[in-house]
Structure 1
Amino acid sequence: MALFFKPSASPSEKHHWHTSQDTVGTSSRTTPSKAASSLHISPIYVDAKYWSYKAWQPKHNISEFLLRELDVSRLNVVYNLLWWAGRQAPPRPLHRWKMLGLKISITEQADLHLVWSAENLFVKPLPLYLLDYSFWLRFICDEKQPQDTYESARGFLLTYVWLIRHPSDLEIAKHEWLLPGDMTWAMWIELVDSIWDHSSDLSCPESISKRYKYGALRLTRLDHIYRFAPRFYLKYLLDGYVQSYSSYGGFFKREFAWLIVAFAYLSIILTGLQVGLGTIQLRDNNVFNKVSYGFAIAAIMLPAVILAVIIFLHSTHGL
């Protein structure tokens, strides 16, 4: 892999991963690895928001690209609630997720990296630019670059140390397109050694984004946080953390499934009220008649109101 060699170097001059004390200017930020210079960024980036989008080329503003590409602010903002979705512990290695029957699904969203559901573990492939020493020096470790980029990049790279602990994990990562196909176990060990040397304590790492102090996060619990936390209540009441439908059919299937249970419960109550009105003891009871009347009207109006609210909220979010 050319990435691990000096330019124009012979095979005998292979450049090993090692601890580096190089800095940029007076920067106190350390680089986790050293490799030949190589730039591997997306040729196009699209900012999409509902019905509009803006496309631009990252090569013209790499700093902005990295801020967006590695952005985990949606998780950092709810850091105090992440205990509900996961633990402050390293994520399981890849082979363990396979043992549990989960499918490894590729995502290019950093804030979906290591988020899991009943069937899937979402993993963002390791960008090649994070294996490029000169890229770190110029665009990440330089004091002129945003601190958020530095902390997110270090935290993201650290997750791969935990995900790939055995040769079997490495083979899974290559098979799932998470790492370059020509990455060898010896190369990986050198990379991990370099990262380890630049982290004073990997059990409680410093200078990483707060999100990465947690391991894998459960998607359903993130949905709970985003739906019911007071600051997000109306904005994310329907979508939760991730919009999980791409059509109106999927929308109605998910959003109205709980209404079936609610309607069943209402039917039982209405049946009980009807039986009560047929008895001598309750037929002429003024209070019971008023309760029955009010509940019947509410049962008629409530489904229509709920339907209107859901459609209104959904229309403001777009599908």
Structure 2
Amino acid sequence: ILGEAGLTIPIVYAGNRSCQDEISQIFRKYGLNGWICDNVMPKLNQLKINSARDVIKNIFLNNIVSAKGIKKIEAEISGVLLPTPAAVLKAAELLSKGYLHESGLGEIVLLDIGGATTDVYSIASGHPLRPNAFLRGLEEPFAKRTVEGDLGMRFSALGILKNLSEEDLQLYLEQGIDLAAELEYRSRNVSDLPKSPREVEIDRVIGEICADMAFSRHVGTMETIYTPLGVMYYQTGKDLTNVHYVIGTGGVIIYDEHSKDILKKVVFNPAKPLELRPKDPLFMLDYDYILSAMGLLSFDHPEIALRIMKKRIGLIK
């Protein structure tokens, strides 16, 4: 069907290995831009995503970014060319796991709020911690990243507005903030930076909303089931209650003197009791905005990259 449709977009096959030869023949027959990678689910409820992730990264670099002149840069450099989110994920994984004799921080959550998206990274097993708890659905990867394209400080400000109820907006009005007007203004003036304490405060409120909503979509949930044998718990997604550190990056977090207020929005919330959020983490900040650079450096010098991160990414006082 895809072949007869005459599609020119990349098509990735990540299914059963036994079908790969047949799929490859179909790609050649119809002249499709086809890519084949390992099965993303080789066993029931077990994900194996690295091969597919690498293929998609190559497609991104080979096609999408060429329109921005990246190909010209690639021809002039000898180092690694990597999308920023992939570099941040690699840095976060290194910071969590450590390297050889240089210890890591353990399980972490990383929050990156930008103008267009809010990215959440969790480097943690996420396995059920509560007795009588069972995992429902797919086991999620140890290093997980989610991207919320409708939650951003400027370009995606209207996406935030669409996710807020009338009751939410009324609560902000009672606090003296016309949030609807503020979000609409920021969506039209994407280059604007806060110039007054009041504007900084409003940006902080928007950042808090992005953090809370994005983390709700990222974190796992627990459902209580009553059976004749007693109470059972079914977990969907990752349990992040015991995560050691929550790390912040992105402009609104780095440049706000009260950045901890934004990061606190990912911790356990009694209003959302089913969400398995961190209960007592420490908060850290990527003060120098180095995570993506350290992800690149880690390809050749992982121990140096790790030491730099441990020195420059510090606790928020």
Q: TM-score, normalised by structure 2?
A: 0.20
Say which structure is richer in strand.
Answer: 2
- What is the TM-score normalised by the length of structure 1? 0.20
The higher-RCO structure (CA 8 Å, 6+ apart) is 1
Say which one has the larger Rg.
Answer: 1
Kindly indicate which of the two structures has a greater share of residues assigned to helix: 1
